[in-house]
């Protein structure tokens, strides 16, 4: 037999096969498992069914694990919780648990699975098994799932065999249903999925749900009812039958004795001496400091080390109450079957400070009494005031006690006091399993491998990877990339930009409606920059629109906004009922921007297309073969130099990239990354939507009023922009030059005379100006040439002067060379 | 929010596959007053009960369609392609 060894608060504990962490610890003599959250009271095994919080420990860094539900295995590190609270130290709640290990070091594995069934049965006891078999017999096509939170089905063996063998039934063991949601959606966590430290979150859709969760036993309220050694009869029974443990030496039984007749025999067979059996009414208190030593009753004191609570059984319906109007059938004990007693006697000490009603949050009978006496007489309000029932067990252990206590004080009936609603997730689930697998989709451009070979340092842009800069050569690489574009030629991969085709009789009309410019009159062969506003005149996105044919346009968007723009276009087309086909071509195309004073001679080597300005002016596009690849070339200039954006089918992207670099070797062409591009465009004061603009920016305050063609009869945002143009501006996006070479961070606040007037959106060192430049939002009184402003970053002030014009080539001559 | 929504093209799917587009409203005529556009853009009726809404099957066919949904119960009474006319409400 393999030895199972794990660590308990630094000591080694031996476990047997079949042990849970809880049973192994109990066998090893551990009685105090942990300390309560609020007052640090010692807590030990209490229910052994995963229904209470008393055995919650931290296992392998995951706090609040119910140790009675975790199978013991070698190598676990188990720690008790709230020891500092027990010692009287005031520990902030956030510091109660060990810090989570870094994600990369976590050995936990989480998955999500989406499943659909005709019927899902929750609970693998006798009535659950019966319900599953009845469901599949309805028709041969029925697919039924059975969720059981324990390691094995617990109904009659014959039925369990049938269920396991049935081809239409899928059984999920160690699988706790934690919530029932609208649309008959069940959330369940499958522990030990594939490997011991893995969890699987099941999203189960069912036409019908059958609730067969049975009943659970709850506690009685008396002084020190939470002492280790006081436990529910379910726990005692499981100790004996499942784990072969001897729960104690001398026991006293409290409560519904007639229900627990079999337990008396079991205890005696296990060698436990039953000292007495007492009614709840006669209990005064349990006594002991770390463990129970006696039960004091009206008739005398019983010296015992085990108090067995034969508590009332309650149908396990918590999650159904919060589920709303779903198709749920309740069967078996969950429907009240076989539950005979509804009595809940309260002994006199039920209102004591040491009578713990809510084991999770340490709410005592005294706390409940105070709340009720101050006029709070509905249990939902008691829950809100005292925190009773708000924590991990969601009222299982406390709700009945609170309801009966309230009823006794007020004289109202139990029905009038009401019941609380358990809320999912119950039982608790780890954040890890909700988050799921630790991976993120990554999109790579067709030229990705080339960038890698060229020494790219990567940055994330949405799901995309883009070269930030190329570290080879390592020194001053951004400056070298910048200089290549300004002085010779540079090439940047812009495949990540959104590319959308808009085609059909109403294509021009649609673009007229959603963009601020007019496109129905744009000649075929021309390209135009435009912005997209919402109905309030806020800039939502920008891009270029080229007219490819009479009824076909090619639209580019920002990298992360393509899905939004695509849906936006579809939406307006749908609302208007126009005939237009919109296709997102982004993944099918590669695009690269070749720019710089020598870009024409580089490109001309690869194409017969006449690239001269007379034949191919700025803001024109042409179809042509480039290095024998069918390409669309658009003469546009985000970086402020003569340049072409070359769009080819994705398959040819890496080939053409190589060809362009080769053709440019004579002029020492360089690939450039996003960082150099950001400096180049900042010198031209070309905005980046979402960087220089925010969720409220309109074209007028962004200094781009020219984009709003108000003479167009209609477009989205026209009414608002007409009004905004008339109204005085509240703020303006301006350029500024810093005094020194030090560069404060993007987002730094802007001050004038120590008073905040705005913030800087982009700040970079400009090799053109030989100093820091940037753009900032300021109030209109500061938006004039030469106004002295101060950027503040990390308590350092950076003086700067507002600059009205563009930093580089204000006339745009270099674009049109 | 985990109800099922019937896409007119794809059938009943989890609401997580869809994007909500707000109340179905008539955009003011181009010559309408600015206040009408403000009303249209900002002031929703926010009905507690059945209302017509825009939904987009983002995770599926991409269609924008109209759904008649009870905002109190999330019961979807009817879904229609944009060009189709409602039988009810």
The ranges assigned to domains in chain A are: 4-103, 109-215, 219-311, 344-429, 498-586, 728-814
Those residues whose C-beta lies under 8 Å from the C-beta of residue A656, and which sit 6 or more positions away, are: A590, A592, A626, A627, A629, A631, A646, A648
Tokens of A294: 């006696």
Task: Enumerate the residues of chain A whose CB falls inside 8 A of the CB of residue B1.
Answer: 182
- Taking CB atoms and an 8 Å cutoff, what residues of chain B touch A718? 30
For residue range A564-612, what is the model confidence (pLDDT) as tens digits?
Answer: 999 999 999 999 999 999 999 999 999 999 999 999 999 999 999 999 9
Instruction: Measure B54 CA to nearest chain A CA, in Å.
Output: 9
As a whole number, mean pLDDT of residues A213-220 equals: 95
What average pLDDT does this structure show over A701-719? 95
For the record, the structure tokens of A785 come out as 């040439």
**Where do the domains of chain B lie?**
4-80
Q: Which residues pair with A775 in a beta bridge?
A: A735, A762
Q: Taking residues A632-653, what's their average pLDDT? A: 97
* Contact pairs from chain A to chain B, CB under 8 Å: 60
**B37–A574 C-beta distance less than 8 A:** no
CB contact under 8 A, B27 and A719: no
Note the ipTM here.
0.96
Task: Give the nearest partner residue to A577 out of B4, B63, B83, using CB atoms.
Answer: B83
| CATH code for the structural domain at A498-586 | 3.30.70.1400
CB spacing of B64 vs A567 below 8 angstroms: yes
Q: pLDDT confidence of A353, banded at 50, 70, 90?
A: very high
Note whether A122 and A209 are within 8 A (CB): yes
- Residue B58: which of A182, A536, A567 has the nearest Cβ? A567
pLDDT recorded at residue B89: 46
Residue A94 has pLDDT above 70, yes or no: no
Q: Assess B44–A contact: CB distance below 8 Å, yes or no.
A: no
- The DSSP string of A269-283 is HTT-EEEEEE-GGGE
Domain A728-814: give its CATH code. Answer: 2.40.30.110
Q: Which residues contact A218 (CB under 8 A, 6 or more apart)?
A: A232, A311, A312, A314, A396, A397, A399, A400, A401
Residue-level pLDDT at B62: 94
Could you write out the DSSP letters of every residue in A588-606?
A: GEEEEEEESTTHHHHHHTT
pLDDT of B16 higher than 60: yes
Mutation for testing the A interface, residue in B11, B21, B37 having most A CBs under 10 Å: B37
Contact A719 B37 (CB under 8 A): yes
A100 confidence band (pLDDT: 50, 70, 90)? low
State the fold for domain A344-429: Arc Repressor Mutant, subunit A (1.10.10)
B43 interfaces chain A, CB cutoff of 8 Å: no
**Same fold: A219-311 with A728-814:** no
Find chain A residues with C-beta within 8 A of B65's C-beta. 574
Contact A571 B42 (CB under 8 A): no
Counting residues of chain A whose pLDDT is more than 90, the rounded percentage is 86
Q: Measured between alpha carbons, how far is A724 from A696 in angstroms, rounded to an integer?
A: 12
CA gap A260, A263 in Å, rounded: 5
> Could you please report the per-residue DSSP string of B15-52?
GGG-EEEEE--PPPPTTS-HHHHHHHHH-----SSEEE
Return the beta strands (E) in A449-606 as ranges: 456-461, 464-470, 490-493, 498-503, 527-533, 539-549, 552-557, 581-584, 589-595
- Residue A235 DSSP code: H
Q: Is A571's CB within 8 Å of B34's CB? A: no
- A579 → chain B, closest CA residue: B83
Pair A481, A471: CB distance under 8 Å: no
Among the partner-chain residues A325, A571, A714, the one whose CB lies closest to the CB of B56 is A571
**CB-based contact (8 Å) between B6 and chain A?**
no
A719 contacts in chain B (CB < 8 Å): 28, 32, 34, 36-37
User: Quick one: pLDDT at residue A43?
Assistant: 96
Per the model's pLDDT, the better-predicted residue between A165 and A107 turns out to be A165
The mean per-residue pLDDT over the stretch B45-65 comes to 96
The count of C-alpha atoms lying within 13 angstroms of the C-alpha of A590, restricted to the half-sphere facing its C-beta, is 21
Please tell me the predicted confidence (pLDDT) of residue A322.
Answer: 78
The percentage of chain A sitting over the pLDDT mark of 70, rounded to a whole number, equals 98
Q: CB distance A182–B30 less than 8 Å?
A: no
Under an 8 A CB cutoff, do A567 and B3 touch?
A: no
Distance from the Cα of A537 to chain B's closest Cα (Å) equals: 11
H or E stretch including A232?
Answer: strand A230-232
- Residue-wise pLDDT for A188-209, tens only, equals 999 988 888 899 999 999 999 9
Rounded Cα gap, residues A350 and A401, in angstroms: 9
Burial pattern A52-62, b for ≥16 Cβ within 10 A else e, equals bbbbbbbbbbb
How far is residue A607's CA from residue A353's CA, in Å, rounded to a whole number? 89
Query: Which CATH number is A219-311 given?
Result: 3.50.50.60
- In the structure, what pLDDT confidence band is assigned to residue B87 with cuts at 50, 70 and 90? low
Instruction: Determine which of A719, A724, A726, A727 to mutate to test the interface with B (most B C-beta atoms within 10 Å).
Output: A719
Q: What angle do CA B13, A436, A173 make, to 5 degrees?
A: 85
Task: Tokens 């540079």: give the residue.
Answer: A490
B interface mutation test: which of A202, A575, A711, A717 has the most B CBs within 10 A? Answer: A575
B24: its two tokens:
């179905």
Structure tokens at A326: 């779903």
Predicted confidence (pLDDT) per residue in A137-149, tens digit: 998 899 999 999 9
Q: Identify the H or E element spanning A755.
A: strand A755-766
Q: How far is A427 from chain B (nearest CA, A)?
A: 20
Mind telling me how many Å the CA of A423 is from chain B's nearest CA? 15
Using CA atoms, how far apart are residues A783 and A785, in angstroms rounded to an integer?
7
Closest-CA distance, B49 to chain A, in angstroms, reads 16
Q: Specify the pLDDT at position A107.
A: 78
Architecture of the CATH domain B4-80? 2-Layer Sandwich (3.30)
- E strand or H helix that includes residue A6: strand A4-8
Return the pLDDT at A474.
72
Sign of CA dihedral A792, A798, A804, A810: negative
Average pLDDT over residues B32-38: 93
As to burial, measured by CB atoms within 10 angstroms (0-12 exposed, 13-18 middle, 19+ buried), residue A456 is: buried
Among A92-106, A110-124, A186-200, the minimum mean pLDDT is found in: A92-106
Q: Could you report the per-residue pLDDT of A223-244, keeping only the tens digit for each?
A: 999 999 999 999 999 999 999 9
Report how far apart the first and last C-alpha atoms of chain A are (Å, whole number).
84
Which residues of A are less than 8 Å from B2 in CB distance?
A: 181-183, 185
Q: Say which of A535, A563, A570 has its CB closest to residue B64.
A: A570
The token pair at A177 is 């249903």
Cα–Cα–Cα angle for A709, A715, A720, rounded to 5 degrees? 80
CB contact under 8 A, A575 and B19: no
Mean pLDDT score, A502-525: 97
Alpha-carbon distance A214 to A216, whole Å?
7
Contact B64 A575 (CB under 8 A): yes
Distance CA A690, CA A699 (A): 13
At residue A661 the predicted structure's pLDDT band, cuts being 50, 70 and 90, is very high
Rounded average pLDDT over A281-286: 95
* HSE-CB for B10 with a 13 A CA cutoff: 19
Point out which residues pair with A499 in neighbouring strands.
A556
Please report residues of B whose CB lies closer than 8 A to that of A534: 41
Assess if CATH 3.40.50.970 describes domain A4-103: no
Cβ within 8 Å, pair A719-B42: no
Residue A154 makes CB contacts below 8 A (sequence gap 6+) with A124, A125, A126, A148
Which A residues in the span 657-696 are in contact with B, Cβ-Cβ below 8 Å? none
Mean of pLDDT over chain A: 94
Position A93 scores a pLDDT of 67
Mean model confidence pLDDT for chain B: 92
Q: What is the CATH T-level fold of the domain A109-215, as seen in this structure?
A: FAD/NAD(P)-binding domain (3.50.50)
Neighbour count for residue A665 (Cβ, 10 Å): 9
Predicted pLDDT at A298: 95
Mean pLDDT of A355-377: 95
Q: Residue A190 — φ and ψ, nearest 5°? A: -100, 115
The residues in A 159-218 lying below 8 A from B, measured between CB atoms, are 181-183, 185, 205
Q: How far is CA A175 from CA A143, A199, A392, A589, in A?
A: 18, 10, 17, 46
In angstroms, the CA A679 to CA A674 distance is 9
Residue A536 with chain B: CB contacts under 8 Å: 41-42
| A188-202, A313-327, A466-480, A673-687: segment of lowest average pLDDT | A313-327
CA distance A512 to A528: 12
Asked if the Cβ–Cβ distance from A182 to B62 is below 8 Å, we say no
B30/A713 CB distance under 8 A = yes
* Record: contact B82-A185, CB cut-off 8 A: no
Give dist(CA B75, CA B3) in Å, integer: 8
B3 touches chain A (CB under 8 A): yes
Ordered alpha helix ranges (H), A112-219:
126-138, 157-165
Beta strand A306-310 with A250-255 is parallel
Whether residues B37 and A720 touch (CB distance < 8 A) is answered with yes
Helices A126-138, A157-165: inter-axial angle, 10-degree rounding: 40
Contacts of A577 in chain B (CB under 8 A): 82-83
Read off the pLDDT of residues A744-774 as tens digits, 9 standing for 90 and up: 999 999 999 999 999 999 999 999 999 999 9
């Amino acid at each position: 037999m393999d030895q199972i060894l794990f660590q308990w608060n630094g000591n080694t504990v031996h476990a047997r096969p079949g042990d849970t962490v809880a049973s192994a610890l109990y066998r090893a003599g551990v009685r105090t498992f942990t300390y309560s959250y609020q007052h640090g009271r010692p807590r030990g095994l209490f229910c052994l069914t995963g229904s209470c919080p008393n055995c919650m420990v931290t296992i392998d860094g995951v706090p609040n694990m119910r140790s009675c539900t975790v199978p013991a295995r070698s190598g676990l590190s188990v720690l008790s919780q709230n020891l500092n609270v027990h010692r009287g130290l005031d520990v902030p709640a956030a510091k109660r648990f060990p810090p989570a290990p870094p994600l990369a070091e976590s050995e936990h594995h989480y998955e999500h699975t989406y499943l659909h069934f005709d019927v899902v049965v929750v609970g693998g006891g006798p009535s659950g098994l019966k319900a599953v078999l009845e469901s599949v017999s309805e028709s041969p096509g029925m697919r039924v799932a059975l969720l059981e939170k324990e390691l094995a089905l617990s109904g009659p063996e014959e039925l369990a065999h049938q269920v396991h063998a049935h081809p239409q039934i899928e059984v999920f063991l160690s699988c706790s249903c934690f919530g029932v949601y609208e649309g008959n959606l069940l959330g369940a966590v499958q522990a030990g999925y594939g490997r011991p430290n893995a969890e699987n979150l099941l999203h189960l859709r069912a036409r019908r749900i059958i609730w067969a969760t049975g009943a659970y036993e709850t506690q009685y309220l008396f002084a020190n009812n939470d002492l280790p050694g006081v436990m529910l009869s379910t726990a005692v029974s499981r100790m004996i039958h499942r784990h072969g443990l001897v729960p104690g030496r001398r026991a006293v039984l409290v409560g519904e004795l007639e229900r627990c007749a079999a337990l008396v025999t079991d205890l005696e067979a296990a060698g436990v001496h039953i000292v007495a059996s007492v009614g709840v009414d006669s209990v005064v208190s349990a006594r002991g400091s770390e463990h129970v030593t006696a039960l004091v009753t009206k008739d005398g004191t019983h010296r015992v080390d085990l108090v067995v609570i034969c508590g009332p059984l309650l149908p396990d319906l918590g999650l159904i109450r919060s589920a709303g109007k779903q198709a749920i059938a309740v069967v078996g004990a969950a429907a009240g079957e076989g539950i005979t007693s509804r009595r809940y006697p309260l002994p006199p000490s039920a209102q004591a400070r040491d009578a713990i009603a809510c084991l999770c949050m340490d709410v005592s009978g005294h706390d409940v009494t105070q709340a009720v006496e101050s006029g709070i007489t509905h249990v939902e309000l008691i829950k809100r005031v005292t925190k009773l029932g708000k924590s991990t067990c969601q009222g299982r252990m406390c709700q009945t006690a609170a309801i009966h206590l309230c009823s006794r004080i007020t004289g109202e009936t139990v029905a009038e006091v009401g019941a609380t609603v358990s809320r999912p997730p119950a039982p608790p689930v780890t954040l890890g399993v909700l988050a799921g697998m630790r991976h993120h989709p990554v999109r790579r451009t067709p030229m990705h491998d080339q960038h890698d070979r060229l020494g790219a340092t990567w940055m994330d842009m949405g799901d995309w990877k883009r070269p930030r800069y190329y570290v080879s050569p390592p020194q001053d690489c951004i400056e070298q990339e910048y200089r290549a574009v300004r002085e010779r030629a540079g090439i940047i991969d812009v495949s990540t930009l959104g590319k959308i085709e808009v085609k059909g009789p109403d294509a021009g009309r649609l673009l007229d409606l959603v963009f601020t410019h007019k496109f129905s009159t744009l000649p075929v062969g021309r390209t135009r920059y435009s912005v997209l506003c919402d109905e309030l005149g806020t800039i939502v996105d920008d891009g270029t629109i080229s007219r490819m044919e009479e009824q076909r346009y090619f639209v580019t968007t920002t990298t992360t906004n393509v899905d939004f723009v695509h849906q936006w276009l579809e939406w307006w087309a749908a609302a208007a009922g126009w005939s237009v086909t919109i296709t997102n071509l982004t993944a099918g195309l590669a695009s690269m921007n070749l720019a710089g004073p020598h870009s024409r001679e580089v490109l001309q080597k690869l194409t017969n297309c006449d690239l001269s300005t007379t034949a191919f002016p700025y803001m024109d596009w042409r179809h042509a073969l480039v290095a024998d690849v069918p390409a669309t070339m658009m003469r546009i200039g985000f970086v402020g130099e003569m340049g072409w954006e070359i769009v080819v089918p994705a398959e040819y992207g890496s080939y053409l990239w190589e060809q362009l670099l080769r053709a440019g070797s004579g002029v020492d062409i360089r690939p450039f990354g996003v960082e150099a591009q950001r400096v180049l465009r900042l010198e031209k004061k070309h905005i980046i939507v979402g960087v220089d603009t925010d969720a409220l920016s309109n074209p007028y305050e962004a200094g781009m009023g020219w984009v709003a063609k108000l003479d167009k009869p209609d477009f989205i945002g026209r009414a608002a922009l007409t009004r905004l143009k008339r109204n005085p501006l509240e703020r303006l996006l301006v350029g500024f030059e810093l005094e020194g070479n030090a560069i404060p961070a993007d987002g730094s606040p802007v001050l004038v005379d120590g008073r905040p007037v705005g913030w800087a959106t982009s700040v970079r060192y400009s090799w053109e100006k030989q100093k820091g430049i940037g753009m900032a939002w300021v109030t209109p009184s500061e938006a004039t040439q030469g106004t002295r402003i101060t950027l503040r970053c990390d308590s350092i002030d950076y003086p700067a002067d507002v600059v009205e014009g563009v930093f580089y080539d204000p006339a745009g001559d270099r674009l049109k060379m | 929010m985990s109800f099922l929504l019937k896409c007119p093209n794809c059938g009943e799917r989890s609401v997580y596959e869809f994007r909500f587009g707000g109340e179905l409203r008539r955009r003011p005529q181009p010559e309408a007053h600015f206040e009408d556009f403000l009303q249209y853009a900002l002031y929703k009726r926010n009905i507690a009960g059945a209302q017509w809404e825009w939904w987009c099957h983002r995770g599926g066919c991409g269609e924008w369609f109209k759904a008649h949904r009870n905002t109190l119960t999330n019961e979807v009474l009817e879904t229609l392609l944009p060009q189709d006319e409602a039988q009810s409400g």
